[in-house]
C-alpha cells in the first residue's frame, strides 16, 4: 500500500517540511492492521525515518527515492536510500529508483538506467526496480534490462479512455497479462492501482466511496486468484494533491484524511457514498417544508387565489431543493479548496437555497423575473421591490457562477468538478418563474442575450467533449441550456418616461 504521511495543509513541496516521527509511527501502527508492506516515494521530508518506524510496527517497506531534473538532489536521495537499505535489510524488501520520471519528461531513459545501475551496484542482493505508467514501459524497453522486476501503474480512472468501475479490475488484469507477454522473463508488480472516492466523472468513470470499495475488493480478489502482487494507491487521502489534480487527486486513500483518519469502509459495515445521509435527508425535508411555508405565508398578503400552476411550481421547487440539499452541501464541503474555491461554492450554495424560497414568494405574487437592467441599470429602470432585488441578485450570482464554470469546462476541464446539485436548485425555480410569469412585451436585454449565447454554446461543446457516458456532464450541460433559455425569455418591461 502506498504511504505518504502528509496531513491537512502539510505539503511535500513546502521547503524545509519535516514530518514528525510520532505522526508517522501513529500511521504505521494503524496500517499494520490492514497490510504487511508499504511503498514510499521519497526519503525527504522526514521519510528517511520510515524504515526504522516500519520495523517497529512489523511492516516491510518498498523503499522509493524521488528523482527528477536536479542531479544533486537525485544523488542525495539515492545515497540516503542506499544507506537505509543497508541499515534495515530485514525491513526494506525492494528499492524503487524513481516514480514516473519518464512520464513527467524529467529524465531520459539512458540517465534513468544509469541511476538504476548505480543503486544496484551499492545494495547487493536487494531487488531494484523503477515505477511508471504501463505505457511508458512499452515505450522505454531499455529500462527493462536494468531492473530486477517491472513495476507498472494501472489507474483505470486516468486512462486516456477512462474505464468504468465495474470493468476496472478486469482492465487491470488484462494490462498485467499484456505486460507479462511483453516482458516475459521478469515479475510484473502492479505498483499503483486503485480508485478515487470523490471528484468529477471522466466519461463513465465515477469516483465514489462505493466504487472505490468495489474496485479495490475485486482487484485484490483477482490478485489472490491469479497469484500476482499488487500495491494499492493509497493509504491515506492526500489533501495537498488537490492543488494540482483537483478534488479527485486528494481522494485515493483507503483511510480518510480528516479527523480520526478512519478506514472509509470498515469490514462488516454497509458502504454508502453519503455517510451523513440521514442528516442530509432530515435537512432536506425541513427545507422542503420551508419552501411551502413561504408560499403559504405569501397568500396572506394576496387579494386573490393563486393558479394551480403556481402551486405546481412551488412543489417542484420544494422537491428539487429538498432532494438535492444534502448532495449540494456534501459537494460544497468536499470539493471546496482555498479562499477562491470556498467563496464561489458558498455563494453557489447560498443562491441554491435562496432561489426556491424567493421563487415560492414571487410566483404567488404573480411577479416576473427581473432583468439585470432592473437591478444594476439607471434609476428609471431599477425595481423598487425588495423581493425583486433579492431575486435579481440570485439570478445575477447564478448566471455569473454558471458562466464561469461553463467556460472553465471549455478551456481547462480536466480537474474541474460538476456542481450539478446546487445549480439545479438555483436554476430550475428561475426557469419555472419565466414559464409562469413572463412579461408579455418588452425589449430583449443585450446582457442576458450574451450570457444565454455563451452558456448554450458552452453546453454543446462540453457535452461532446465529455462524452455521452458522463451523466454529471450531461446533467450540468442541461442546466446550462435551461439557464440560457431562462435568460433568453427576459424582457425589459419598464421604460423611462
Q: Do 41 and 62 form a contact (C-beta atoms < 8 A)?
A: no
Q: What grid cell was written down for 365?
A: 405574487
Q: Do 350 and 336 form a contact (C-beta atoms < 8 A)?
A: no
Distances (CA, A) of 112 to 107, 123, 183, 191, 493: 7, 17, 18, 18, 70
Question: What is the rounded CA–CA span in Å between residue 348 and residue 355?
Answer: 10
Residue 266 reports pLDDT greater than 90: no
At residue 494, the pLDDT reads 52
Question: What is the rounded CA–CA span in Å between residue 487 and residue 249?
Answer: 35
What is the average per-residue pLDDT within 445-465?
A: 96
User: pTM for the complete prediction?
Assistant: 0.91
Question: What is the rounded CA–CA span in Å between residue 231 and residue 234?
Answer: 8
What is the average per-residue pLDDT within 422-429?
A: 98
Q: Do 314 and 320 form a contact (C-beta atoms < 8 A)?
A: no
Question: What is the rounded CA–CA span in Å between residue 448 and residue 446?
Answer: 6
Question: What is the rounded CA–CA span in Å between residue 379 and residue 494?
Answer: 11
Q: How many CB atoms lie within 10 A of CB 99?
A: 25
Question: What is the rounded CA–CA span in Å between residue 78 and residue 76?
Answer: 6
At residue 374, the pLDDT reads 82
Which residues are CB-neighbours of 21 under 8 A, at least 6 positions away? 46, 49, 53
Percent of the chain with pLDDT over 90: 86
Length of the chain, please? 497
* 179-209 tens-digit pLDDT: 999 999 999 999 999 999 999 999 999 999 9
What is the average per-residue pLDDT within 158-167?
A: 97
Q: What grid cell was written down for 294?
A: 413561504
Q: Compute, in degrees rounded to 10, the torsion defined by CA atoms 163, 168, 173, 179.
A: 30
Query: What's the chain's average pLDDT?
Result: 94
Least confident residue range of 49-53, 80-84, 384-388: 384-388
At residue 493, the pLDDT reads 62
Residue 417 reports pLDDT greater than 70: yes
Q: List the one residue out of 460, 336, 349, 434 whose CA is nearest residue 394.
A: 349
Which residues are CB-neighbours of 312 under 8 A, at least 6 positions away? none
At residue 129, the pLDDT reads 98
Buried b (16+ CB within 10 A) or exposed e, 343-377: ebbeebbbbbbbbbbbbbbbbbbebbbbbbbbbeb
At residue 496, the pLDDT reads 44
What is the average per-residue pLDDT within 368-397?
A: 86
At residue 440, the pLDDT reads 63
The region, left, alpha or beta by phi > 0 then psi within -120 to 50, assigned to residue 246 is: left
Q: In which element (H, E) is residue 96 found?
A: strand 92-99
| Domains annotated on the chain, with CATH | 21-249 (3.20.20.80), 277-488 (no CATH)
Question: What is the rounded CA–CA span in Å between residue 155 and residue 96?
Answer: 19
At residue 497, the pLDDT reads 42
- 244-245-247 Cα angle (round to 5): 120
Task: Give the end-to-end CA distance of the chain in Å, rounded to a whole number.
Answer: 74
Residue 305 reports pLDDT greater than 80: no
Concatenated DSSP letters of 317-377: HHHHHHHHHHHHHHHHHHH--HHHHHHHHHHHHHHHHHHHHHHHHHHHHTPPPPPHHHHHS
At residue 268, the pLDDT reads 80
* 212-249 tens-digit pLDDT: 999 999 999 999 999 999 999 999 999 999 999 999 99
Amino acid at each position: 500500500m502506498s504511504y505518504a504521511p502528509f496531513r491537512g495543509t502539510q505539503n511535500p513541496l513546502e521547503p524545509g517540511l519535516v514530518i514528525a516521527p510520532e505522526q508517522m509511527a501513529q500511521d504505521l501502527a494503524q496500517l499494520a492492521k490492514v497490510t504487511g508492506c508499504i511503498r514510499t516515494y521519497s526519503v525527504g521530508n522526514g521519510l528517511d525515518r520510515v524504515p526504522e518506524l516500519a520495523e517497529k510496527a512489523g511492516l516491510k517497506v518498498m523503499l522509493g527515492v524521488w528523482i527528477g531534473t536536479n542531479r544533486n538532489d537525485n544523488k542525495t536521495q539515492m545515497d540516503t536510500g542506499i544507506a537505509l537499505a543497508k541499515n534495515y535489510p530485514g525491513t526494506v524488501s525492494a528499492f524503487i529508483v524513481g516514480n514516473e520520471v519518464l512520464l513527467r519528461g524529467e529524465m531520459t531513459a539512458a540517465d534513468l538506467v544509469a541511476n538504476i545501475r548505480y543503486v544496484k551496484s551499492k545494495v547487493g542482493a536487494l531487488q531494484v526496480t523503477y515505477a511508471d505508467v504501463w505505457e511508458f514501459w512499452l515505450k522505454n524497453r531499455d529500462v527493462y534490462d536494468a531492473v530486477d522486476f517491472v513495476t507498472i501503474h494501472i489507474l483505470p480512472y486516468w486512462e486516456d479512455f477512462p474505464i468504468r468501475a465495474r470493468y476496472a479490475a478486469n482492465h487491470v488484469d488484462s494490462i498485467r497479462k499484456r505486460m507479462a507477454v511483453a516482458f516475459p522473463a521478469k515479475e510484473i508488480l502492479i505498483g499503483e492501482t486503485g480508485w478515487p472516492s470523490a471528484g468529477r466523472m471522466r466519461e463513465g468513470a465515477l469516483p465514489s466511496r462505493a466504487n472505490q470499495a468495489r474496485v479495490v475488493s475485486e482487484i485484490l480478489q483477482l490478485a489472490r486468484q491469479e497469484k500476482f502482487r499488487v500495491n494499492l494507491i493509497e493509504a491515506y487521502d492526500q489533501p495537498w494533491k488537490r492543488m494540482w489534480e483537483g478534488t479527485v487527486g486528494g481522494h485515493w486513500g483507503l483511510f480518510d484524511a480528516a479527523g480520526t483518519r478512519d478506514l472509509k469502509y470498515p469490514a462488516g459495515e454497509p458502504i454508502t457514498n453519503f455517510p451523513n445521509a440521514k442528516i442530509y435527508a432530515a435537512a432536506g425535508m425541513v427545507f422542503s417544508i420551508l419552501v411551502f411555508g413561504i408560499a403559504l405565508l405569501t397568500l396572506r398578503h394576496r387579494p386573490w387565489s393563486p393558479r394551480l400552476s403556481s402551486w405546481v411550481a412551488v412543489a417542484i421547487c420544494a422537491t428539487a431543493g429538498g432532494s438535492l440539499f444534502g448532495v449540494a452541501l456534501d459537494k460544497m464541503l468536499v470539493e471546496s479548496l482555498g479562499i477562491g474555491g470556498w467563496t464561489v461554492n458558498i455563494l453557489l450554495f447560498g443562491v441554491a437555497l435562496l432561489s426556491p424560497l424567493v421563487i415560492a414568494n414571487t410566483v404567488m405574487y404573480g411577479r416576473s423575473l427581473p432583468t439585470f437592467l432592473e437591478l444594476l441599470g439607471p434609476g428609471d429602470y431599477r425595481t423598487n421591490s425588495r423581493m425583486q432585488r433579492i431575486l435579481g441578485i440570485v439570478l445575477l450570482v447564478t448566471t455569473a457562477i454558471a458562466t464561469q464554470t461553463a467556460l472553465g469546462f471549455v478551456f481547462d476541464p480536466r480537474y474541474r468538478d460538476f456542481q450539478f446539485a446546487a445549480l439545479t436548485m438555483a436554476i430550475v425555480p428561475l426557469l419555472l418563474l419565466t414559464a409562469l410569469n413572463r412579461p408579455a412585451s418588452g425589449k430583449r436585454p443585450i446582457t442576458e442575450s450574451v450570457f444565454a449565447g455563451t452558456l448554450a454554446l458552452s453546453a454543446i461543446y462540453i457535452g461532446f467533449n465529455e462524452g455521452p457516458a458522463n451523466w454529471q456532464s450531461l446533467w450540468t450541460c442541461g442546466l446550462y441550456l435551461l439557464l440560457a433559455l431562462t435568460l433568453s425569455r427576459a424582457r425589459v418591461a419598464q421604460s423611462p418616461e
